[in-house]
């Protein structure tokens, strides 16, 4: 199919369908596409994670989070929702492979973690 063939098919379609119907169809398709793209962008930014999303979604890669051993003041699990002081019992239950370290409580909160209620000093 050439460009001129496609152009003729579009013209024949436009002559059979009322102009108002075409405009409404284009508006509906454009709004649906815009909504879908916005929804996906929100999920990528961590705004729509819900119960199954990662707490690290939407955290900028240049934020001061490290995954090496004991380099921060607060620790959390990659799959958890709470952060701890390194001496708390909850922090001892996190395997070294799953530990995420934060330099401050505000950075931990920005990453979507909450302070653990059973860890005094938070």
Convert the pLDDT of each residue in 25-79 to its tens digit.
999 999 999 998 888 887 776 554 444 444 554 454 444 454 444 567 899 999 9
Report yes or no on whether pTM surpasses 0.95: no
Residue with tokens 């709470």: 82
Q: What is the end-to-end Cα distance of the chain in Å, rounded?
A: 68
- Give the burial string for 14-29 (b: 16+ CB within 10 Å, else e): eeeeeeeeeeeeeeee
What pLDDT score does 39 carry?
A: 82
pLDDT per residue over 85-105, tens digit each?
Answer: 988 989 999 998 999 999 988
What pLDDT score does 56 carry?
A: 53
- The token pair that represents 122 in the structure block: 């938070």
Looking only at the bridges linking them, the beta strands covering 114-115 and 82-84 are parallel
**Could you give the residue ranges of the DSSP H alpha helices within 17-111?**
19-44, 89-92, 105-110
């Amino acid at each position: 199919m050439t460009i001129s063939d496609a152009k003729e098919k579009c013209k024949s379609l436009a002559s059979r369908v009322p102009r108002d119907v075409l405009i409404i169809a284009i508006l509906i398709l454009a709004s649906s596409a815009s909504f879908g793209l916005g929804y996906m962008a929100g999920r990528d930014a961590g705004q729509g994670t819900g119960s199954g999303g990662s707490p690290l979604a939407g955290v900028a890669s240049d934020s001061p989070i490290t995954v090496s051993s004991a380099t921060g003041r607060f620790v959390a699990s990659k799959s958890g929702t709470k952060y701890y002081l390194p001496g708390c019992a909850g922090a001892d239950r996190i395997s070294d492979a799953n530990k995420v370290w934060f330099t401050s409580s505000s950075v931990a909160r920005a990453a979507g973690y909450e302070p653990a209620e059973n860890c005094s000093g938070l």
